[in-house]
Amino acid sequence: MPFSQFIDYLQLEKKYSPNTLTAYKADLKSFSEFIFYEFEEKDLSKLHYAQIRNWIIFLVDEGVSNRSVNRKISSLKSYYRFLQKTGDIEFSPLAKHKALKTASKVQVPFSETEIKKVLDQIDTSDFEGLRDRLIVELFYTTGVRRIELIEIKLQDLNLVGKHLKVLGKRQKERIIPLLPGVISNLQSYLNKRADIMAGREEAYLFVSQKGIKLYESLVYRIINNYFSKVSGKIKKSPHILRHSFATHLLNQGANLNAVKELLGHSSLAATQVYTHNSISELSKVHQMAHPRNKKVN
């Protein structure tokens, strides 16, 4: 079966993003090329696990990280599940495959002090400064993903209702409340944006000085540049701001399920990766407050 049918399925039924679809295409293409070169086999539905294992070994020998190998295998698993669904195969050759072991990646969030320093230091006297400050604020106060922020349209804002509509992964829509201070800064930005656009039409909220919709690498660069001035952390990205949003809410006692909904996670397990820092805060409170840890006079 051509990959195109599988990709159409991911796009139309699973609602995967363009970036995810590109990754799936690349994984399947490199896999099929390897299989044809090694075994002269074009029909992937006829493969056995031993043949696929050769590809895994090849990737590891080439220095591909276990995490990346697991992601590629995940693409293959999805493809074989699709072939089962369409009746092209009865059993997946990857049904009993176990993922390669990977070291857990601990994302270190920005501190509240670091975030405050960035917000205080951004010069908002011009359009770009006002826009950049709002971008940092929205990442930190709503927990949106980078692509979600870029895709926000003017019609998604409800300043009267004090909330924002976001289209997340797999086209899942969620409503996120906006803090009063953010609403005020949004209004200031919209006024400057109207001057920049000067009659031109652009549906998206965030635009460049030339009135063009922002792109992912620019948003990354904005966050990285500002936080490089105040933080020595290795990773300084929009995702770390999302991580900070979740961690700081949990540190302040927010309900895990509520944070899950705000982040747009489909399962609680995905949200629990943000709890390691909040546990550290709870540990401090526990040690300070528990009577068994107090000195006996």
Which residues does the annotation mark as catalytic? 145, 169, 239, 242, 265, 274
**Beta partners for residue 174, in sequence order:** 166
Which tokens is 77 given? 């698993």
Residue 125 DSSP one-character state: S
What does the DSSP assignment read for 228-269? HTT---S--SHHHHHHHHHHHHHHTT--HHHHHHHHT-SSHH
Cβ-based burial of 191 (10 A; exposed 0-12, middle 13-18, buried ≥19): exposed
256-263 and 238-251 helices, crossing angle to 10°: 160
Give dist(CA 273, CA 70) in Å, integer.
Answer: 19
